[in-house]
C-alpha cells in the first residue's frame, strides 16, 4: 500500500511541474499583458508603459521568467499580484473561504438530494418518479448556469423579494442568518447540476448493485427490505461514488466561477476570471497551481480510499 | 456653481470665470466653458440642509474592482473613485471647469504672484489646518515628497508627463513651496489638478520599497474618508474623516461594491441593494426602464471620451484621405446612435468635448451621403472589381475592424458599418479581441487596420493632445506617446508646440481651434459621438454632481447626504 501511495505521489508531483510549465507558457504567450488596461489612460505614455514593464521584469526572456517564478514558488514565495501588490497566497486565501463555503453547501445539497433521487429512481425504475427525475436531470444538465442564476434572481429577488440579488453578506451585518440568507440562491444554483450528476451516477450504481446475486440471496433469506437496501445495497452502491466525489472538484470549480459572477460572490472563481482579464500572471499561476494541487489531491485520496476498500485495485 | 464649492473658501468664488489675459488665470478656470447635461439635475439636487454630523452610508456599485490605492501608481478609473475619497489634490477641477483650491490656499496665477510671467517659477501657498488621517499635520514637505516620488526612477509612477520638468523644489515654510520648471508647460496646471494626489511623507518616506508597503493596501490620506476595510473581490469600506479640512463628509460610510456584470449591477440597483451605480453605469438598453423605477433617478451625462473609428493611417487604403472621407460620409451615424445607443449620445466632429472652453464651434458637420462617398471614390480612382469591392493600383479597399470582444453595442455597430460601407464598395471584416489583447501591443504598436474605441484625449481639462497626435508620439516608430493612428503633420506639431507654451486663453483657444480644424480636415480619426454615462441614484441621496473633468462621477461623495 505504501509503495502504491508513493508511486501516485511521484506521478502527482510530475504532473504539477508539467501543468506549471504549460500554464505559464500559455498565459505568457497569449497576446496582451498586464499593462494593457492602462492603454486608454490619457496620462500614461508608451514610455511610461515600457518603464513599468522593465520594473516588473516582464521584458526578460520567458524561460528566465519561468525559472525565476518556479524557483521562488517551491520556496513558498508565490509572488505578488500585479493588481494590488498583495502576496499571491494571501490573495488566494482571502477568496478561498467564500468559494469553499459555496462549494461545500452546494455539495451537501447535491449529495443528499442526488443520492436520494438516484436510489429512489433505481428502486422504482421506469416509474413516474424515475421518468420525472431523468427528464429533470437532463434539463438541469442542459441549462446554462448563468441563465439559471439570472432567472433565480429575477424570480426570487426582483419579483418576490425573498432573497438578496447577490453578495455574500450585507456590509456591516455579517450575522449567521444574514450569511445564510445570501447563500441560499447561489448554493441552489450551483447545486443544480451537481444534484443531477449525483442522481444519475447513484441511479446507475444502485441498479447495478440491486441486480447482484447477493441481494437476491439476501431477499431469499427473508432479510427485511430496509436492511437489504441500507446495509448491503446502499453501502456497495456508494463505493463508486468515491471516485465521482474525487473528480467533482474541477466541475464544481467551473460552476462556482459562473455562480460567483452572477451572484457577485467574492470567491476564487471570480478572482480567476478577473485575474485572467487583467493578465495578473502571478495570481493566475497561483490559482492554477492551487487548483491543480486540489484536483490531484482529490484524485489521489479517491484512489487511496478505493484501494483501501477494494484491495484488487492495489494489485492491479 | 462657484458657491456650490464655497466650503473651499473665497477662491472658489473668485476663480469661477477666467479673466482675459493670462493663461494661468485661465489656469484657475481653464475649462470655464464646461457645463454638463447633468448639471440641471445637480442643481436641483444640491444639498440644502446637510446633517450636522455624518449620517448613514452610501453603497456605490462599480463594475470593476478598485485594486490600486497608491494614487501615484498606474491605476484605472475605478481606482480613482477611491483616491478621490481618501486623498486630496493641491486643487481640483469642478464641474464648471474652475480650478478650486484644496490643499493649496489659492490657485497660483501670475496676478497673485504664484507664477512668474514666463511660467517657469511656481510658488504655492498651502493650508496649515490640514491633517493626515493618522493625525500628523500636512506640510509642504509632503508636496515636495510626492513630486519627488513621481520622478524617483525606482518608483512605479503612473506618468511623469509634466512632472519631469519640475526642478529645484524648495520648502520655504511649512505652508509654502516653490519650484522651477525646466520649460514652460501650461497643461501642468491641469495635470496637478486632476490626478496628482498628495501622499504622506511621514509614512512613505520610511518604506524600503516604494512599490510595496502596507500603505498600498491601507492608504492614509487627507481626504474626507479614512480607509476602513477591503474584502477582496467584494467591497471596500471607507469611514468619514472627522477632521477633514473641507465641508463634509455627510455620510458615515462609503461602501464601494464590486459587481462585474452590468445586468447584475442594474438588478441590484433595482432591488435597492446599491444606492448608486457608478462605472460603467446603466446599460443603454435598461435606461428607459430605469427611468420608470420608483424611488430611483437616472442621470445621463456627457463624458470627455470621444467614441470614434481609429484608422491606422499607415495601412494601405487608409493612407488615402479620399478613402477616409468616403468612409466617413458613408457612415449612418444617427442610425447607430438611435438604434444602438437609444439616442443617448450626441454626434461630434472633434476630439475635444463640446462642453470644453477649447471646443471649436463650426467644424464641418458630418452628413450621411453614400452617393457623394461613391462619387469621391470614383474620382479618386478606386474602381469596383467583380466582387463589388473597389481597388486602386492593386490595393483592395478591404480592411479589418477591431474592438473589445463582448462589447455588445460596439459589435452591433460593426454590423451596421459593414452594411454602410459595403454600399460604397468597401469590405470590412470583424477582428475582435479581449480587452487585455486588443489594448496591448496590437493597439499600442499600431498592428490594427481600424479600431472602434472611446478615448479621453484631454489632460484633465487641458486640450494638449501631443501624446495623441504629435509626430514624435508614435510608439510603432519609437515615439513617446499614444499616437497609434500614426498621424504625422508638421502643422499639427507646430500648433501643439505653440499651445503647450502659450499663456493667454484667446491664443490657446485659437491654437487648439486650428488644431481641431486640421484634425477634422485630415480625418485622422472618424469621430462618432461624445461619450456618455447613465448613472442611477437612489431617491433621497443628495449632492451627486457629474463632473466631466474627472474620470469618475463619484468624485465628490463628501458632498453627498441622505435627505
The answer to whether the Cβ–Cβ distance between A46 and B444 falls below 8 Å is: yes
Model pLDDT, residue A228: 87
Model pLDDT, residue B450: 98
pLDDT tens, residue by residue, B197-241:
999 999 999 999 999 899 999 999 999 999 999 998 899 999 999
- Answer yes or no: is pLDDT of B37 > 70: no
Q: What is the mean pLDDT of the segment spanning B475-485?
A: 90
The answer to whether the Cβ–Cβ distance between A270 and B260 falls below 8 Å is: yes
Closest approach of chain A CAs to the CA of B75, in angstroms? 7
Q: Is B550 helix (H, G, I), strand (E, B) or coil?
A: coil
The answer to whether the Cβ–Cβ distance between B455 and A271 falls below 8 Å is: no
More confident call, A225 vs B207: B207
Model pLDDT, residue A177: 92
Query: CB count, 10 Å around CB of B206?
Result: 9
* Residue-wise DSSP of chain A: -HHHHHHHHHHHHHHHHHHHHHHHHHHHHSS--TTGGGTT-SS--HHHHHHHHHHHTTTS-HHHHHHHHHHHHHTT---B-TTT--BHHHHHHHHHHHHHHHHHHHHHHHHHHHHHHHHHHHHTTTSHHHHHHHHHHHHHHHS-HHHHHHHHHIIIIIIS--S-SS-SS-TTT--HHHHHHHHHHHHHHHHHHHHHHHHHHHHHHHHHHHTSHHHHHHHHTT--HHHIIIIIIHHHHHTTHHHHHHHHHHHHHHHHHHHHHHTT--SHHHHHHHHHHTT-HHHHHHHHHHHHHHHHHHHHHHHHHHHHH-THHHH-
What residues of B are in contact with residue A35 (Cβ under 8 Å)? Answer: 74, 440
Contact A65, A76 (CB under 8 A): no
Highest mean pLDDT among A153-167, A254-268, B107-121, B420-434: B420-434
Contact B50, B182 (CB under 8 A): no
Q: What is the mean pLDDT of the segment spanning A44-63?
A: 86
* All cell numbers assigned to B274: 446599491
* All cell numbers assigned to A1: 500500500
> What is the b/e burial string over B207-226, where b = at least 16 CB atoms within 10 angstroms of the residue's CB?
eeebbbbebbbebbbbbbbb
* All cell numbers assigned to A158: 426582483
Q: What is the DSSP letter of B406?
A: T
- Most A CBs within 10 A among B62, B67, B164, hence the mutation to make, goes to B67
Q: Is B116 helix (H, G, I), strand (E, B) or coil?
A: coil
CA–chain centroid gap for B290, Å, is 26
Q: Is B97 helix (H, G, I), strand (E, B) or coil?
A: coil
- Most A CBs within 10 A among B74, B442, B451, B549, hence the mutation to make, goes to B74
What residues of A are in contact with residue B271 (Cβ under 8 Å)? Answer: 157-158, 161, 164-165
Model pLDDT, residue B167: 96
Q: What is the mean pLDDT of the segment spanning B119-129?
A: 96
- Answer yes or no: is pLDDT of A218 > 60: yes
pTM over 0.80: yes
- Answer yes or no: is pLDDT of B300 > 60: yes
Mean pLDDT of chain B: 89
Partner residue opposite B443 with nearest CB, options A30, A39, A278: A39
Strand partners, B91: B101
Closest approach of chain B CAs to the CA of A24, in angstroms? 17
Model pLDDT, residue A40: 61
Continuous H helices in B352-407: 370-379
Partner residue opposite A45 with nearest CB, options B271, B433, B480: B480
What residues of A are in contact with residue B483 (Cβ under 8 Å)? Answer: none
- Residue B295 touches partner A, C-beta closer than 8 Å: no
- Residue B343 touches partner A, C-beta closer than 8 Å: no
The answer to whether the Cβ–Cβ distance between A274 and B59 falls below 8 Å is: no
Lowest mean pLDDT among A146-155, B165-174, B325-334: A146-155
Residue carrying the nine cell digits 512613505: B204
Partner residue opposite A46 with nearest CB, options B235, B459, B480: B480
Continuous H helices in B395-536: 408-422, 435-437, 443-444, 466-469, 490-501, 505-522
Highest mean pLDDT among A122-131, B58-67, B516-525: B516-525
Which pLDDT band holds residue B30 (cuts at 50, 70, 90)? Answer: very low
The answer to whether the Cβ–Cβ distance between A85 and B217 falls below 8 Å is: yes
* All cell numbers assigned to B400: 479589418
- Percent with pLDDT over 70 in chain B: 91
* All cell numbers assigned to A77: 514565495
pLDDT tens, residue by residue, B523-538:
999 999 999 999 999 9
- Answer yes or no: is pLDDT of A84 > 50: yes
Contacts of B38 (CB under 8 A, 6+ apart): B299, B300, B301, B302, B545, B546
H or E segment to which residue B163 belongs: none
Contact B315, B397 (CB under 8 A): no
- Residue B260 touches partner A, C-beta closer than 8 Å: yes
Contact B15, B500 (CB under 8 A): no
Model pLDDT, residue B46: 52
Model pLDDT, residue B20: 32
- Answer yes or no: is pLDDT of B185 > 50: yes
Which pLDDT band holds residue A211 (cuts at 50, 70, 90)? Answer: confident
What residues of A are in contact with residue B219 (Cβ under 8 Å)? Answer: none
- Most B CBs within 10 A among A35, A46, A154, hence the mutation to make, goes to A46
The answer to whether the Cβ–Cβ distance between A167 and B211 falls below 8 Å is: no
Q: What is the mean pLDDT of the segment spanning B543-550?
A: 92
The answer to whether the Cβ–Cβ distance between B273 and A279 falls below 8 Å is: no
Model pLDDT, residue A48: 83
Strand B346-347 and strand B296-311: pairing?
Answer: unpaired
Contacts of B278 (CB under 8 A, 6+ apart): B60, B61, B62, B63, B78, B81, B256, B535, B552, B553, B554
Q: Give the largest Cα separation in chain B, rounded.
A: 78
CA–chain centroid gap for A316, Å, is 29
Q: What is the mean pLDDT of the segment spanning B553-563?
A: 95
Contact B106, B470 (CB under 8 A): no
Strand B526-538 and strand B450-456: pairing?
Answer: unpaired
Give the Å distances, CA to CA, from B296 to B44, B270, B289, B291. Answer: 15, 8, 11, 7
Model pLDDT, residue B492: 98
More confident call, B146 vs A256: B146
Query: How many CB pairs (< 8 A) connect A and B?
Result: 192
Which pLDDT band holds residue A101 (cuts at 50, 70, 90)? Answer: very high
- Answer yes or no: is pLDDT of B10 > 50: no
Q: Phi and psi for A70 in degrees, rounded to 5?
A: -65, -45
Q: Which of B62, B97, B59 is nearest to B81 (CA)?
A: B62
Contacts of B159 (CB under 8 A, 6+ apart): A41, A43, A44, A45, A48
Strand B166-173 and strand B176-181: pairing?
Answer: antiparallel
* β-sheet with B383-384: strand ranges across: B383-384, B390-392, B395-396
Model pLDDT, residue A42: 61
Continuous H helices in B271-362: 284-291, 321-329, 333-335
Omega into B280 within 30° of 0, i.e. cis? yes
Strand B390-392 and strand B395-396: pairing?
Answer: antiparallel
- Answer positive or negative: Cα dihedral of A104, A106, A107, A113: positive
Amino acid at each position: 500500500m505504501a509503495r502504491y501511495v508513493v508511486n501516485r505521489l511521484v506521478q502527482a508531483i510530475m504532473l504539477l511541474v508539467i501543468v506549471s510549465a504549460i500554464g505559464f507558457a500559455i498565459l505568457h504567450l497569449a497576446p496582451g499583458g498586464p499593462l494593457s488596461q492602462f492603454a486608454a489612460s490619457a496620462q500614461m505614455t508608451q514610455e511610461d508603459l515600457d518603464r513599468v514593464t522593465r520594473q516588473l521584469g516582464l521584458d526578460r526572456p520567458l524561460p528566465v521568467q519561468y525559472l525565476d517564478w518556479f524557483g521562488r514558488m517551491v520556496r513558498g514565495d508565490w509572488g505578488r499580484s500585479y493588481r494590488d501588490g498583495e502576496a499571491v497566497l494571501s490573495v488566494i486565501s482571502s477568496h478561498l473561504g467564500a468559494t469553499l463555503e459555496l462549494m461545500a453547501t452546494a455539495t451537501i445539497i447535491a449529495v443528499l438530494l442526488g443520492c436520494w433521487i438516484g436510489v429512489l429512481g433505481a428502486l422504482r425504475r421506469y416509474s413516474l418518479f424515475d421518468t420525472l427525475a431523468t427528464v429533470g436531470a437532463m434539463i438541469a444538465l442542459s441549462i446554462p448556469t448563468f441563465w439559471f442564476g439570472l432567472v433565480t434572481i429575477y424570480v426570487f429577488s426582483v419579483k418576490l423579494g425573498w432573497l438578496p440579488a447577490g453578495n455574500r453578506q450585507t456590509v456591516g451585518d455579517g450575522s449567521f442568518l444574514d450569511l445564510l440568507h445570501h447563500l441560499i440562491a447561489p448554493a441552489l444554483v450551483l447545486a443544480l447540476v451537481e444534484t443531477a450528476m449525483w442522481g444519475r451516477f447513484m441511479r446507475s450504481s444502485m441498479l447495478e448493485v440491486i441486480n447482484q446475486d447477493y441481494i437476491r440471496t439476501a431477499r431469499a433469506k427473508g432479510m427485511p427490505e430496509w436492511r437489504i437496501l441500507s446495509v448491503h445495497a446502499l453501502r456497495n452502491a456508494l463505493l463508486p461514488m468515491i471516485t465521482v466525489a474525487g473528480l467533482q472538484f474541477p466541475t464544481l470549480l467551473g460552476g462556482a466561477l459562473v455562480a460567483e459572477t452572477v451572484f457577485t460572490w467574492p470567491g476564487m472563481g471570480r478572482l480567476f476570471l478577473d485575474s485572467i482579464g487583467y493578465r495578473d500572471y502571478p495570481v493566475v499561476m497561483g490559482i492554477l497551481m492551487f487548483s491543480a494541487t486540489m484536483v490531484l489531491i482529490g484524485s489521489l485520496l479517491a484512489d487511496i480510499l478505493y484501494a483501501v476498500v477494494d484491495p484488487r485495485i492495489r494489485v492491479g | 456653481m462657484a458657491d456650490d464649492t464655497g466650503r473651499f473658501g473665497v477662491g472658489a468664488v473668485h476663480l469661477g470665470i477666467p479673466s482675459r489675459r493670462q493663461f494661468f488665470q485661465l489656469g484657475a478656470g481653464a475649462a470655464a466653458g464646461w457645463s454638463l447635461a447633468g448639471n440641471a439635475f445637480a442643481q436641483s439636487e444640491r444639498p440644502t440642509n446637510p446633517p450636522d454630523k455624518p449620517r448613514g452610508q452610501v453603497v456605490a456599485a462599480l463594475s470593476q474592482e478598485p485594486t490600486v490605492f497608491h494614487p501615484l501608481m498606474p491605476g484605472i478609473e475605478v481606482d480613482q473613485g477611491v483616491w478621490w475619497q481618501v486623498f486630496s489634490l493641491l486643487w481640483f477641477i469642478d464641474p464648471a471647469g474652475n480650478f478650486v483650491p484644496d490643499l493649496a490656499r489659492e490657485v497660483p496665477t501670475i496676478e497673485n504672484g504664484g507664477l512668474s510671467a514666463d511660467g517657469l517659477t511656481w510658488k504655492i501657498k498651502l493650508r496649515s489646518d490640514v491633517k493626515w488621517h493618522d493625525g500628523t499635520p500636512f506640510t509642504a514637505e509632503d508636496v515636495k515628497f510626492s513630486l519627488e516620488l513621481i520622478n524617483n526612477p525606482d518608483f512605479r509612477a503612473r506618468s511623469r508627463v509634466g512632472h519631469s520638468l519640475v526642478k529645484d523644489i524648495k520648502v520655504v515654510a511649512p505652508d509654502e513651496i516653490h519650484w522651477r520648471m525646466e520649460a514652460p508647460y501650461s497643461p501642468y496646471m491641469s495635470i496637478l489638478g486632476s490626478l496628482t494626489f498628495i501622499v504622506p511623507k511621514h509614512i512613505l518616506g520610511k518604506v524600503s520599497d516604494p512599490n510595496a508597503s502596507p500603505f498600498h493596501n491601507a492608504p492614509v490620506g487627507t481626504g474626507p474618508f479614512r480607509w476602513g476595510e477591503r474584502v477582496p473581490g467584494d467591497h471596500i469600506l471607507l469611514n468619514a474623516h472627522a477632521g477633514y479640512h473641507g465641508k463634509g463628509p455627510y455620510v458615515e460610510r462609503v461602501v464601494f461594491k464590486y459587481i462585474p456584470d452590468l445586468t447584475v449591477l442594474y438588478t441590484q440597483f433595482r432591488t435597492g441593494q446599491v444606492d448608486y451605480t457608478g462605472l460603467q453605469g446603466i446599460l443603454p438598453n435598461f435606461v428607459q426602464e430605469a427611468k420608470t423605477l420608483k424611488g430611483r433617478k437616472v442621470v445621463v451625462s456627457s463624458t470627455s471620451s470621444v467614441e470614434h473609428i481609429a484608422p491606422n493611417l499607415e495601412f494601405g487604403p487608409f493612407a488615402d484621405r479620399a478613402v477616409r472621407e468616403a468612409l466617413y460620409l458613408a457612415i449612418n451615424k444617427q442610425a447607430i446612435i438611435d438604434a444602438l445607443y437609444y439616442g443617448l449620445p450626441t454626434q461630434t466632429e472633434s476630439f475635444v468635448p463640446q462642453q470644453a472652453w477649447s471646443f471649436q464651434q463650426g467644424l464641418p458637420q458630418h452628413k450621411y451621403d453614400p452617393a457623394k462617398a461613391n462619387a469621391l471614390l470614383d474620382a479618386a480612382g478606386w474602381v469596383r472589381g467583380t466582387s463589388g469591392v473597389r481597388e486602386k493600383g492593386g490595393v483592395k479597399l478591404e480592411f479589418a475592424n477591431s474592438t473589445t470582444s463582448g462589447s455588445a453595442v460596439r459589435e452591433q455597430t460593426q454590423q451596421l458599418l459593414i452594411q454602410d460601407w459595403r454600399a460604397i464598395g468597401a469590405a470590412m471584416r470583424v477582428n475582435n479581441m479581449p480587452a487585455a489583447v486588443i489594448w496591448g501591443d496590437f493597439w499600442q504598436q499600431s498592428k490594427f487596420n481600424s479600431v472602434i474605441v472611446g478615448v479621453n484625449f484631454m489632460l484633465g481639462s487641458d486640450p494638449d493632445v501631443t501624446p495623441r497626435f504629435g509626430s514624435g508620439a508614435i510608439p510603432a516608430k519609437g515615439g513617446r506617446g499614444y499616437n497609434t493612428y500614426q498621424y504625422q503633420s508638421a502643422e499639427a506639431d507646430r500648433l501643439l508646440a505653440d499651445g503647450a507654451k502659450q499663456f493667454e486663453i484667446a491664443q490657446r483657444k485659437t491654437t487648439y481651434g486650428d488644431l481641431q480644424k486640421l484634425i477634422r480636415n485630415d480625418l485622422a480619426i472618424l469621430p462618432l459621438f461624445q461619450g456618455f454615462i447613465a448613472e442611477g441614484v437612489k431617491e433621497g441621496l443628495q449632492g451627486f454632481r457629474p463632473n466631466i473633468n474627472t474620470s469618475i462621477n463619484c468624485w465628490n461623495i463628501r458632498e453627498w447626504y441622505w435627505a
